[in-house]
Amino acid sequence: MTARAAALAILSDVLRKRRPLDAATDDALAAAQLSPRDAGFARAIAHETLRRLGQLEALTAHFVPKTPPPHRAGPALEILLAGACELLFLDVAPHAAVDGANRLAAADRKAVHFKPLINAALRRIAREGKDVLATQDAERLDTPDWLWQRWCDAYGEEATRAIARAHLVPPQLDILGTDDLPELRALPNASTLPGGTVRLKDPGRIDALPGYAEGRWWVQDFAASLPARLLGDVKGATVFDLCAAPGGKTAQLAAAGADVIAVERDAQRALMLKVNLERLKCKAEIVESDLRDFAPETRASFVLLDAPCSATGTIRRHPDLPWLKAAADIGACVAGASELLDAAAEMLADGGTLVFAVCSLEPEEGPEQIAHFLQRHPQFRRLPVASSEVFGLTDLVSAEGDLRTLPSHLIEKGGMDGFYAARLKRDENT
C-alpha cells in the first residue's frame, strides 16, 4: 500500500499540480522511504499510467461516463486510472488491484465518498476492460491532439503512428564508457548498439552496476551520443560544449582527447556536471554562465550547442510531457534557442565547425531554426552528415543532410530518443 500511495501522490502532483514527473517521483519516493522493490512498483504504476493516459481516460469514461469532479472527489480519478493501469497493463491480480484502490479511497477524506463507485468500476474493468482496449486506437488516444497533427504534417501518419507505438515501450538504459565495458556486455539483460553503446533492460540500481564506482561509464541515450560524433576528430582541440549539463557530451568529448570548456547557466546543473565529471575522472573546465554572456578570450575550432527545447523527442522517458506542454510552448523554445545559436556562432573560429542539436521532434526547433540561421549568417554553410558517420544508419540522415532520429528508429532494439542535429561550417576569413 505504501507503494500505491506513493504512485498516487506522483500522479496527483503531475495531473493536478502540473509538476514534472521526475520531480514528483523523487519527492514522493523520498517521503515514502520505500524499499527498492516497492519504489520500482510505485514508479511503474505512475509511469505506465501516464504512458497510457489517453487509453485509460477513454476506458474509465466508458465505465464511468460522469467523471467525479476533483474539487469534491479528491484523487478519486487518479485512483481509478492507476487501478485500471494495474489491471490491464501491469497484470496485477484483480483482487489485489481492486483492494488496493479501495484502501486508497478509504484513506482520503474526499475520495472515500466515491469508494463504492471506484470498487464497482474497477470490478467491471477487471472483467470487461481488455475487450474495450481491443477496440481502441491506442496510438491516437495516447498522443494529444496538438502533437498528433504536428507530427502528421511533418512526418506523415504512418511515421506518426510508429512514433506513438515507440512511446508505449518503456525505455531501456543506454551506457557509453571509456573502454569496452566487458562486464556490462556480459550481463544477461545486455545488448549492444553501434558505437560501443551498451543497452540494459531492467538494470536495477544504476550505482550497483559494474564499473559505476570506478567511473568507467555514463548513462546516455544512443541518439544523444550522436551530435558530439559529428564534430569529427577533436583530439587536442579546444571545444566549447554549451548548455553542457548533465555531462554526457562533455564526457564524450573529453574521452576523445578534446580540451573541453563546458558552459552551463544553471548552478544546480553545473554542480551536477562537476560531480559527474569527477566520478568519470574526466577533465574539463566548467564555466557557470549564460552562454549569451560568455565571452571567451579566443574563439574555438569546434562548438557544440545542445539547446534547451520542448524535448518532445524524449517522451518515451518523460510520458508526462505530452500532457503538461502545449503547442504554445514551442514558440518560446524557438526564440530562446535562436539567441543561443547566434551567441554560439560568435564563439566559432574561421573555418570551424558548429553542431547544433535539440532533443525535439518539432520542425520549428530543428530544420526551420537552421534555415533561419543560415539566412542571418551567410558566412555559414551546412556540412551534410554522411551515413557512414552514423554507423551506416541511413534512416537517421535527412534529405538536407542533417541528423534526424525518431523514437521508432531501431525499434527492434528498443528505439531511441528523437534528436535533431545540424553541422555548420564557418567560412575562412569571416
Which CATH number fits the domain that encloses residue 81?
A: 1.10.940.10
Q: Is the pLDDT of residue 49 over 90?
A: yes
Residue-level pLDDT at 205: 86
Closest CA to 406 of 353, 366, 354, 373: 366
Is residue 320 within 8 A of residue 20, CB to CB? The reply is: yes
Residue-level pLDDT at 204: 84
Residue owning grid cell 495531473 = 15
Question: Based on the number of CB atoms within 10 Å of its own CB, is 214 exposed (0-12), middle (13-18) or buried (19 or more)?
Answer: exposed
Q: Any residues with CB less than 8 A from the CB of 27 and at least 6 apart, and which?
A: 13
Q: Please tell me whether residues 126 and 192 are part of one structural domain.
A: no
Q: Is the pLDDT of residue 212 over 80?
A: yes
Q: Is the pLDDT of residue 314 over 80?
A: yes
Distance CA 348, CA 425 (A): 9
In DSSP terms, which residues pair with 200 in a beta bridge?
A: 173, 190
Is residue 366 within 8 A of residue 305, CB to CB? The reply is: no
The percentage of residues in the chain with a pLDDT greater than 70, rounded to a whole number, is 100
Residue-level pLDDT at 251: 95
Q: With cut-offs at 50, 70 and 90, classify the pLDDT of residue 39.
A: very high
Domain finish residue from 187, 218, 249: 218
Q: What are phi and psi of 45, to 5 degrees?
A: -60, -50
Q: Does residue 145 sit within a domain? A: no
CATH code at 363?
3.40.50.150
Q: Is the pLDDT of residue 424 over 80?
A: yes
Q: Does residue 52 sit within a domain? A: yes
Distance CA 76, CA 113 (A): 9
Q: Please tell me whether residues 281 and 400 are part of one structural domain.
A: yes
Picking from 44-58, 202-216, 391-405, which range would have the lowest pLDDT averaged per residue?
Answer: 202-216
Per-residue model confidence as pLDDT tens digits over 351-378: 999 999 999 999 999 999 999 999 999 9
Amino acid, single-letter form, for residue 79: I
Q: With cut-offs at 50, 70 and 90, classify the pLDDT of residue 275.
A: very high
Identify which has the larger pLDDT, 161 or 295: 161
Residue-level pLDDT at 179: 81
359 belongs to the catalytic site: yes
Residue-level pLDDT at 234: 97
Is residue 83 within 8 A of residue 59, CB to CB? The reply is: no
Q: Does residue 55 sit within a domain? A: yes
Q: Please tell me whether residues 312 and 382 are part of one structural domain.
A: yes
CA 424 vs CA 25, 47, 63, 78: distances in Å:
39, 38, 55, 47
Q: Does residue 148 sit within a domain? A: no
Domain finish residue from 160, 185, 218: 218
Residue-level pLDDT at 394: 96
What secondary structure does DSSP assign to 18-59, as a single string?
Answer: ---HHHHHHHHHHHHT--HHHHHHHHHHHHHHHHTHHHHHHH
DSSP at 181: -
Is residue 277 within 8 A of residue 340, CB to CB? The reply is: no
Q: Does residue 166 sit within a domain? A: no
- Mean pLDDT of the 154-158 span: 97
Q: Please tell me whether residues 409 and 344 are part of one structural domain.
A: yes
The percentage of residues in the chain with a pLDDT greater than 90, rounded to a whole number, is 94
Per-residue model confidence as pLDDT tens digits over 53-111: 999 999 999 999 888 888 899 999 999 999 999 999 999 999 999 999 999 999 999 99
Residue-level pLDDT at 66: 86
Q: Please tell me whether residues 356 and 212 are part of one structural domain.
A: no
Q: Is the pLDDT of residue 430 over 80?
A: no
What is the tally of structural domains in the chain? 3
Mark residue 262 as left, alpha or beta (left: phi above 0; alpha: psi -120 to 50; beta: remaining). beta
Per-residue model confidence as pLDDT tens digits over 240-252: 999 999 999 999 9
Q: Please tell me whether residues 104 and 12 are part of one structural domain.
A: yes
DSSP at 73: H
Q: With cut-offs at 50, 70 and 90, classify the pLDDT of residue 158.
A: very high
Q: Does residue 130 sit within a domain? A: yes
Q: Does residue 159 sit within a domain? A: no
Q: Any residues with CB less than 8 A from the CB of 224 and at least 6 apart, and which?
A: 248, 249, 359, 417, 419
Residue owning grid cell 574526466 = 282
Is residue 59 within 8 A of residue 129, CB to CB? The reply is: yes
Q: Please tell me whether residues 349 and 282 are part of one structural domain.
A: yes
Is residue 86 within 8 A of residue 42, CB to CB? The reply is: no
Distance CA 207, CA 3 (A): 22
- Domain of residue 240: give its range: 221-426
Q: Please tell me whether residues 193 and 261 are part of one structural domain.
A: no
Amino acid, single-letter form, for residue 201: K
Strand order in the sheet with 190-192: 190-192, 198-200, 173-177, 217-219
Which stretch of DSSP H or E encloses residue 424? strand 419-426
Is residue 285 within 8 A of residue 222, CB to CB? The reply is: no
Q: Does residue 167 sit within a domain? A: no
Q: Please tell me whether residues 55 and 180 are part of one structural domain.
A: no
Domain finish residue from 188, 218, 248: 218
- Mean pLDDT of the 395-399 span: 97
Q: Please tell me whether residues 214 and 283 are part of one structural domain.
A: no
- Mean pLDDT of the 225-236 span: 97
Q: Please tell me whether residues 213 and 332 are part of one structural domain.
A: no
Distance CA 373, CA 366 (A): 11
Residue-level pLDDT at 429: 79
Distance CA 57, CA 334 (A): 32
Q: Please tell me whether residues 235 and 383 are part of one structural domain.
A: yes
Q: Any residues with CB less than 8 A from the CB of 359 and at least 6 apart, and which?
A: 223, 224, 306, 309, 311, 313, 314, 417, 418, 419
